Amino acid sequence: MAVNRAEIVDNNFLSVVQEWQRGSKREDLDSAVRDGSTLTARKAIEIWQSMVESRHLDFQARILKGKRQSFYTIGSSGHESNAAVAAASRPTDQAFLHYRSGGFFLQRGKMTPGTTPILDVLLGMVASSDEPIAGGRHKVFGSVPMNIPPQTSTIASHLPKAVGAAFTIARQNRVARERDTDSAPNNDVVVCSFGDASSNHSTACGAFNTAALADHQNLPCPVMFVCEDNGLGISVRTPKRWVETRFSDQQGIAYFAADGLDFIESYDVAREAFAFVRESRKPTFLHLKLVRLLGHAGSDVEQLYRSPAEIENTEAQDPVLAGAKLLHALGWLHPEDILSIYEDARATVHALAQEAVKRPRIETAAEVTRALAYWDAGMVQSEAGRLAPAEDREAFFGRLPENDRPRHMAMQINRALGDLLVKYPEILIFGEDVARKGGVYHVTADLQKKSGVGRVFNTPLDETAILGLAMGAGLAGMLPMPEIQYLAYLHNAIDQLRGEACSQQFFSNGQIGNPMVVRIASMAYQKGFGGHYHNDNAIAALREIPGIVIACPSNGADAVRMLRTCVAAAKANGRVVVFMEPIALYMTKDLHDEKDGAWTFEYPPPHESLPLGQTKTWTTGSDVTILSYANGLWMSLRVAKRLEQQHGIQCRVVDLRWLHPLPVEEIVNAAKATGKVVVVDECRRSGGIADTIVAEIVDAAPETQVSRVMGIDTFIPLGDAANLVLVQESDIESAVVDMMKRVSP
């Protein structure tokens, strides 16, 4: 029969406290809780009460799980003194919390009037749709009024955005000063808690490095890393003294350490650390030495990897009991006071649990996905059409781009970015080489010179750091436009989009967005340059991310209009957008003949945008429809002209422009227009968009004849060998001719 360790820990607390003598009791609760401490006795009792409440939430999670009423049992037992860290912070300090920071969450609730943190946690455990942050989608520590963005059970993936949020505070202050010269600077800090095992994750190491590098460059980055060190990562032990050895002399990050089993010391050290980071604006590491009680989660059989003696020794270090001992020994609470607080917390948590299980749960798929992809087309169109002051544009450009001759895509994107910098003071453009160099392809050339180093700047060579900065900046109210230098590089950091940025609206029930437009130099077909890392046609990892928007223009005019829409969607609807820029078309000027200039376009007037899901029909032939995008679209137009001249075949060539969500309605209409469809997908056969397009056509118009032209499932080699695996014009031409030979059913 399984041993109920929660019951043992509970009974141990009760039996120990009941043995204590009553002694004398101090009444001056506004005095220091002990000599040398900055913590008052009144506040100390409040912190300990939060610790007790957190413990009873863990007990209740297991009770509800036994009744099949709860779905989450990863608890905070042994970590409760993180409540002292919360007490040392300000309610306005944004906090990204570890899944064992229950004490912090409850204490922050006491600092935020009108919140109900105990009930909120219970509603999350039972997956009730009444839970105020995630709406029953997951049990998270998150709250809009408490300034805690929701965080799920991730391994260090929230550290980069915490660094990004801290790094952005100085930029927020700059924008605020520009809008109001009398505004007081914001000296809040960002708190980020995590476990000792997570500190070894490459994502965490990247965040530490980014913060330290910012400090090395004298850039403010007021982030408080809080390592809750219990010595275990599920069953794997962290080597003794590893965290202290690793971080006590970390260059660029100040180190503070406290005994987490002494919540008074934890408060005093945390208060000192907060004062340091708040004043210096430097990254700081607070190391709390803790224990883990009750296993990793309710399903964890701790006896498989820890001896009974080790488990019992850990339980003897119970921080809730240790806190009670301190308050009793210092004369602030009698044993009966301690037991009263403890049992009152049990009764409160139990009563609220009974309420929580009665609350509604999610009942439809529509409820689940409602917060995933909020898109108000009218709001986005209105925002996209809102104009920057004409005098500001003239000051930035000199000669307005709409008055210039037709240009290629790279130049038009550059001008669009300039327009957006003028329109939105909160826009930040950053990435590798984007500043003085202007990017590998000079798409961001001169933008830093015109708008300043605070708005267009280089980052470390770390895609995780780039996207983390974007997330933190977006959460801080800025409008980030990070650049990923090549599509292949994105996969180093894809979880920052999948697990973090795009989940923010989902896990906050639409209350918190993570607005950003990620520009990526994408796709293949570069001549004389490339190989896999610079010619990459893999988009499957992006397309599978729920809620993401993927835009992919084929020409400069569309790029400008689509970029305006994408930024408006980020601004107005908090959306995460990936803007894929086809490298091979950056400098392309011609279409059919050398120097015909047919692939240069005039700069669209500043009020024009391109709605999500709107395709473009370039030719209106009635024989066969070619659906494509980017390089495939450019090739298809060339093929269509030859087919008409040489075979009399008239093609309807349609530019999809939006790769996710796909413009299904317009795809189906284009298919029905001819009854024959060739899908030209320059991406890989497995993971491109062709299969989905074919499936949608077959579902909606089963009588349509459909074929596909796709890239081969391979990495792309150097030189001319790339053409052996990428879609070629001859492939498109053959597919159309073969389609025309088919006999209609």
Instruction: Report the chain (745 residues): mean pLDDT per 10 consecutive residues.
Output: 86 96 92 97 98 98 94 94 98 96 98 97 97 94 96 85 96 83 84 96 96 96 97 94 95 97 98 98 98 92 92 96 97 97 98 97 93 88 95 95 96 98 96 95 96 94 96 95 96 93 93 95 85 88 95 98 98 96 97 97 97 97 97 98 97 98 97 97 94 97 96 91 94 97 75
- Distance (Å, rounded) from C-alpha 147 to C-alpha 601? 46
The architecture that CATH gives domain 378-585 is: 3-Layer(aba) Sandwich (3.40)
Identify the pLDDT of residue 2. Answer: 65
Domain boundaries, the chain: 5-364, 378-585, 616-741
Edge-to-edge order in the sheet of strand 576-582? 456-458, 427-431, 479-484, 516-522, 576-582, 549-551, 658-660
The neighbour count for residue 450, using CB atoms within 10 Å, is 15
Report how far apart, in Å, the C-alpha atoms of 513 and of each of 357, 555, 577 are: 29, 30, 12
Task: Find out whether 118 and 57 touch, Cβ atoms under 8 Å.
Answer: yes
- Distance (Å, rounded) from C-alpha 208 to C-alpha 255? 12
Angle, nearest 10°, between helix axes 335-356 and 5-18? 150
- Distance (Å, rounded) from C-alpha 566 to C-alpha 576? 9
- Distance (Å, rounded) from C-alpha 687 to C-alpha 568? 29
Q: How many CA atoms lie within 13 A of 550 on its CB side?
A: 24
The neighbour count for residue 724, using CB atoms within 10 Å, is 11
Identify the pLDDT of residue 217. Answer: 95
Q: Residue 578: which residues within 8 A CB-CB, separation 6 or more?
A: 497, 517, 518, 520, 542, 548, 549, 550, 551
- Distance (Å, rounded) from C-alpha 188 to C-alpha 165? 11
| Phi/psi at 238 (5° precision) | -80, 130
The neighbour count for residue 110, using CB atoms within 10 Å, is 19
Token pair of 367 as six digits = 């409820």
Identify the pLDDT of residue 745. Answer: 62
Task: Indicate the CATH number for domain 616-741.
Answer: 3.40.50.920
pLDDT digits (tens, 9 = 90+) for 516-532: 999 999 999 988 666 77
Token pair of 583 as six digits = 């490298």
Report how far apart, in Å, the C-alpha atoms of 617 and of each of 35, 251, 614, 628, 633 are: 78, 57, 10, 11, 11
If residue 179 lies in a helix (H) or strand (E), which one and from where to where? Answer: helix 159-179
- Distance (Å, rounded) from C-alpha 328 to C-alpha 335? 7
Identify the pLDDT of residue 637. Answer: 98
Identify the pLDDT of residue 185. Answer: 82
Edge-to-edge order in the sheet of strand 254-259? 94-96, 190-195, 223-229, 284-289, 254-259
What is the three-state SS of 258-302?
EECCCHHHHHHHHHHHHHHHHHHCCCEEEEEECCCCCCCCCCCCH
Task: Find out whether 627 and 670 touch, Cβ atoms under 8 Å.
Answer: yes
CATH topology for the 5-364 domain: Rossmann fold (3.40.50)
- Distance (Å, rounded) from C-alpha 129 to C-alpha 141? 15
Letter string b/e over residues 543-570, b meaning 16 or more CB atoms within 10 A of that residue's CB: bebebbbbbbbbbbbbbbbbbbbbbbbb
Token pair of 96 as six digits = 């990204």
Question: Do the two domains 5-364 and 378-585 of this chain adopt the same fold?
Answer: yes
User: What is residue 578's three-state secondary structure?
Assistant: strand
Report how far apart, in Å, the C-alpha atoms of 114 and of each of 108, 144, 440, 464, 727 are: 12, 12, 51, 36, 60
Taking alpha carbons only, the member of 535, 588, 518 closest to residue 719 is 535
What value does the mean pLDDT of the chain take? 95
If residue 707 lies in a helix (H) or strand (E), which one and from where to where? Answer: strand 705-711
Identify the pLDDT of residue 744. Answer: 65
Q: What is the pTM of this model?
A: 0.95
Identify the pLDDT of residue 543. Answer: 95
Taking alpha carbons only, the member of 118, 443, 89 closest to residue 269 is 89
- Distance (Å, rounded) from C-alpha 657 to C-alpha 663? 9
Identify the pLDDT of residue 374. Answer: 80
